[in-house]
Amino acid sequence: MNTLSPPLIPIVCGNSVLTEGSDGVGRTYDPATGKVIAEFARAGQAEVDQAVAAARKAFDEGPWRRMRPFERGRVLQRIADLILERREELVRKECADSGKPLRDAYWEVDCSARFFEFYAGAADKLHGSSIPLGPDWSDWTVKDPIGVSLHIIPWNYPFQLIARGVAPALAAGCAVIIKPSAETPVTAYEFMKICQEAELPEGLVNLVNGRGSVAGDMLARHPGVDQITFTGSVPTGKRVMVAAASHAIPCNMELGGKSPQILFADADLDRALPVIAGGVFTHCGQVCNAGTRLLVERSIHDTVVEKLEKKIAGMSIGAGIDDPDLGPLVSLAHKKDVESFYDIARKEGELILGAQTPKEDPLSGGAFVRPGLVVGASNAARVAREEIFGPILTIIPFDGAEEAARLANDSPFGLVAGVHTRNIDAALAMAERLRVGQVWINSFAVGLDVEFPFGGYKLSGFGREKGLEALNAYQQIKNICVHHPIPR
Ligand SMILES: NC(=O)C1=CN([C@@H]2O[C@H](COP(=O)(O)OP(=O)(O)OC[C@H]3O[C@@H](n4cnc5c(N)ncnc54)[C@H](O)[C@@H]3O)[C@@H](O)[C@H]2O)C=CC1
């Protein structure tokens, strides 16, 4: 055996582990070094059909949805425990595959365990309601699992986004198929091993690796799939919606954003600026809810730019495993896309720092970029409207709350927003006006945050993940109405 060959990640359909797929073999790279870390079997129609058949059988004939809900909860709790037992191994694998700094990978794995804990506790609390129709009638609702749920996962949080969707789907009684990003398939297979160890029924969770435009599209169109949860870009999300429409199934869409952080002059800058920087530079800006549009009250604009410039000039850049401030981007292809925005920024305003990585730079072999600030660009500029998915913060001044609200809402997206001020009345008034799915006041995307609903307005998508609201995507409501006249 050649011990130097990279490991091969299979497709898993029920109990069948397929090391070959009809769409050939893909490779995944460590973005810090450009080295291949694993190969994976790419699914075509045959494997997609097999995975859907396994999931269908598990849902239609298997024990899962007939189990008592608390027993389903116990299995989910076992998955949470196994994730925490394997924490170190998962963190290292995620670091190497996605490039994220060590502390972000710890967050990702811990958060994933929290999703399973949270929905373990929710499994036996999926109540219906009773509806009063008057004497001689009884009417109530029950919540049925929706069926086979497809999870199309992006590359930025490959493990956590599996947990975010799969945990509520399983709690609700569904069977699932996971389609990881071809950029980051490594920890999805680790998740399958955990499911096996937790003794999930055969076929309840299936793994289909492959290209989005091939395996992803085939899965989304497959008549055996009942629901889709998608996280990724707007153009791909629209393609998935068309595929879902071809067989009239519902989908949950989480499509990213260009989230505003509104900084009033009365804010405590020592508290606010680290939060603002964390909101944009975490995982090198490759976060759907990154706060990449900073709206600053004009009187403090120059001070804020100066302080942020100082902060980002001192940021360390390196391989995720060394836990730098900024790891590499996910791939060299994505680096090229992000770097194109440095040129756009120079045309639309002034780019502070953020130069392209020079050829002689020791980091130039990996997908590294330098963080940048853009000033002097308007809210209509591409750097203020498009999701760059890199470490670039666009800073725009405003005069008064009216203008701040107008600028914040003048975006095709509406995922989250941050408001930084000492005046809680002003913050709450602003929160009311913002057309976004979530408002952070004097904070931004902190904690393991599995408890509250998350999702966007406008192009950021629809449907809600996380919290108890997420369960709605995986259940359908059945109404039962009984006429039973009682002799009186
Ligand atoms: N909102 C978010 O959290 C994310 C947003 N993005 C944005 O998307 C941009 C491009 O990144 P990509 O990885 O190319 O994202 P993408 O949106 O193309 O891919 C997301 C997932 O969809 C799958 N996919 C692709 N085409 C498909 C199709 N026709 N049918 C079914 N599934 C399909 C991919 O294989 C992957 O698993 C990024 O630069 C970023 O702006 C990327 C990742 C996460």
Cβ 454 under 6 angstroms from ligand 1 = no
Q: What is the pLDDT of residues 133-166, one digit of tens each?
A: 999 999 999 999 999 999 999 999 999 999 999 9
Percent of the chain scoring above 70 in pLDDT: 97
Q: Does pLDDT of 2 surpass 50? A: no
**Cβ atoms 394, 386 nearer than 8 A:** no
Q: What is the pLDDT of residues 118-127, one digit of tens each?
A: 999 999 999 9
Which residue has the least CA distance to atom 21 on ligand 1? 154
Q: 254 catalytic, yes or no?
A: yes
In the reported structure, the alpha carbon of residue 227 is separated from the centroid of ligand 1 by a whole-number distance in angstroms of: 18
The one-letter amino acid code at 107 reads: W
Helix (H) or strand (E) run with residue 405 in it: helix 400-409
Q: Which of 281, 139, 154 is nearest to 212 (CA)?
A: 154
User: Atom of ligand 1 at shortest distance to CA of 235?
Assistant: 17
d(CA 136, CA 96): 64
Percent of the chain scoring above 90 in pLDDT: 94
- What's the rounded mean pLDDT across residues 295-300? 98
Residue 445's pLDDT is what? 81
Strand ranges (DSSP E) for 165-319?
175-179, 205-207, 227-231, 251-254, 260-263, 293-297
What is the pLDDT of the chain when averaged over all its residues?
96
Residue 360's pLDDT is what? 56
CA-to-CA dists, residue 482 to 129, 138, 139, 396, angstroms: 14, 5, 6, 61
pTM of the predicted model over 0.90: yes
Cβ 221 under 6 angstroms from ligand 1 = no
Q: What is the pLDDT of residues 426-445, one digit of tens each?
A: 999 999 999 999 999 999 98
In the reported structure, the alpha carbon of residue 235 is separated from the centroid of ligand 1 by a whole-number distance in angstroms of: 8
In the reported structure, the alpha carbon of residue 329 is separated from the centroid of ligand 1 by a whole-number distance in angstroms of: 15
Which residue has the least CA distance to atom 44 on ligand 1? 232
Residue 355's pLDDT is what? 73
Q: What is the pLDDT of residues 369-417, one digit of tens each?
A: 999 999 999 999 999 999 999 999 999 999 999 999 999 999 999 999 9
Q: What is the pLDDT of residues 71-125, one digit of tens each?
A: 999 999 999 999 999 999 999 999 999 999 999 999 999 999 999 999 999 999 9
